[in-house]
Amino acid sequence: MQVMTDTPKPTVSGTAPPGIACDIFCAVIDNFGDIGVCWRLARQLAHEHGWQVRLFVDDLHAFTKLCPSLDATHVKQSVEGIVVEHWHEPAHAGETLEIADVVIEAFACELPPVYVTGMAQRAQRPVWLNLEYLSAEDWVADFHLRPSPHPRYPLVKRFFFPGLVPRTGGVVKERDLDAQRAAFEQSPQAHAAWWQRATGGPPPAPGATVISLFAYENPALDSLLAQWRDNASPVVLLVPQGRVSGAVARFFGLPAFEAGAHATRGNLHVHGLAFTEQRGYDPLLWASDLNFVRGEDSFVRAQWAARPFVWHIYPQADDAHLPKLDAALAHYARPLSAQARAALERFWHAWNGNGTPDWADFARHLPEFKARAASWATELAQAGDLAGNLAVFAKTQLK
């Protein structure tokens, strides 16, 4: 057993607190997706299922971007009823070693060895889940919840696979998300207030296409900006501060394109937006006609927003991401007409490095994409929401 050297000698606490105790361990690889998914899951388990959640995160600075009320200098704090611990080194498992009923290691991060030992010593063995990355590939349903016995301890870890279809873990969706979206969509006041806050001005006139752009650096962007500039009708582009801001600045010959920036060329009007607290991202999707999203969590939010979207998938070595892109396309594009499906595939592929995006070819199918976005959100809901699926499974194991 590996023993921590710089923290007090841990003790395994004997009394379980009321309600299900859950520890989530999250190592931030890069960007915001790892902590983005864990933070949503933590809140949902706490607020909708009444669990007592502790979230161990190794990068509080990334976390503060999504949750500005967090203080990155605190080793331990409570935020929205969730205990957040700075997982400051791999062996750290909190000041007192308390083993939860349900232990979630996110995205194959490695649990502190002393914690695993504590799990093996606990009278009732915890439910141990490795929360995997989302994939729409077919094999996911077969591997979801498969057991993996520990080589030395009487512990079984299970792989919890998010997915887009039934028999997978589903994707995170808060109970009130649809109601919140409906309230936003039905309220011209909420709409106008959002535009004022985000851009400093009123909503655009009818006839403009509003597009949000959240993506990684992308060589296809220059061509697309030029096509929007030359578009027959206005395109209003909303760009949260981030990895594409530099390319937008270069297109306009500006030194930077930060939050609060505005620029116009031809029919393209661009606003630089502040990166918001995580809950603030959904209204951006609802305010737009088309959303460019990336990674994992924004990809999911765009689907719940029930609007057409373009996915910049997280690039992996050896193009391992491309089958995942096509698997998602296969589900999403299935009922589209042959022309619309082909245009969607061409555009998504071009946005992910294969070809040049053709805006006119894509945009002519937007009404069909819009109808499909709505039917897809209903289909996706059949997979159940991830927190709910996880809670149901954990409870069957804890009996």
Binding site for ligand TRH (CB under 6 A): 29-34, 36, 66, 133, 214, 240, 275-276, 278, 281, 294-298, 314
> Would you say 66 or 102 has its CB closer to ligand TRH?
66
Task: Provide the pairing of β-strand 156-160 with 127-131.
Answer: parallel
Please state, in angstroms and rounded to a whole number, the distance separating the CA atoms of residues 310 and 213: 9
> Would you say 209 or 303 has its CB closer to ligand TRH?
303
> Would you say 31 or 218 has its CB closer to ligand TRH?
31
CB of 88 to ligand TRH, least distance (A): 20
CB of 143 to ligand TRH, least distance (A): 18
> Would you say 266 or 315 has its CB closer to ligand TRH?
315
CB of 37 to ligand TRH, least distance (A): 7
CB of 234 to ligand TRH, least distance (A): 23
CB of 244 to ligand TRH, least distance (A): 11
For the stretch 322-336, what's the b/e string if a residue is b when 16 or more beta carbons lie within 10 angstroms of its beta carbon?
bebbbbbbeebbeeb
> Would you say 218 or 298 has its CB closer to ligand TRH?
298
Catalytic residues: 34, 296
